[in-house]
Amino acid sequence: MSSRIDVANDYVSIRKVLGWAGIYVPEVSYGRSWKTRCPFGEMYHIDMGSEKSMRVYSDTNSAYCFQGCGYLSPVSLHSKISGLPWQDAAEDLLQRMGYQDITDEEKWKKALDERRSVDPNYLSSALQVYCSKIAGNTWNYIQYDSRVLDKLKKCLSLLSFIKSEDDARKWLTASKLYLYSTLIEKVNNEISDG
């Protein structure tokens, strides 16, 4: 289970915390990182904060001050600015951002919804596995036969219309039936030719 500190570090942007600290944050960050002044430059830096000594990393939602403040996450930055312990700083950030915990019921519903989503790649693989089981060793040859290939393409062209688990089951059943007789015919031809 994630701690509130982890939740706040994931939910709150380091850019937002820097802005609250009075640091200029460009509307668009160019590249994966950008340099800015450290909010603690006047207090802790030899140059009194005149140079851009902090690099902000968009990918990791973090910053690093090369003048001695080191690694900063949204929570550690807010903690250092506000003087709050990390746990309290995390709670304060979440409250400022209007974060709402999701209930166990909502988590369960989300997990079920994710499980029910249909991945067309899995369906395509399932149909091809079926074909290879029906055709056995001859699948290596007959999968390139124009009739088999055309029928397989027709089936796969319908994948974008599948929106539910029920659609997926119907599509797979119909596709198997559609391909079965052609596969059997091709297998028999290969056996009789061989």
Question: Which tens digits make up the pLDDT trace of 144-176?
Answer: 899 999 999 999 999 988 888 888 999 999 999
The encoded tokens of residue 71 equal 């690694």
CA 176 – CA 127 distance, rounded (Å): 7
Per CATH, the number for 4-96 is 3.90.580.10
pTM beyond 0.75: the answer is no
What is the rounded distance in angstroms from the CA atom of residue 184 to the CA atom of residue 3?
58
How many of the other CB atoms lie within 10 Å of CB of 50? 11
What is the distance, to the nearest Å, from the Cα of residue 73 to the centroid of all Cα atoms in its chain?
Answer: 21
How many CB atoms are located within 10 Å of the residue 187 CB? 18
For 28-72, how does the pLDDT look when each residue is reduced to its tens digit (9 = 90+)?
A: 766 788 888 888 877 767 777 678 888 899 889 999 988 878 899
Sheet holding 54-57, edge to edge: 33-36, 54-57, 62-65, 70-72
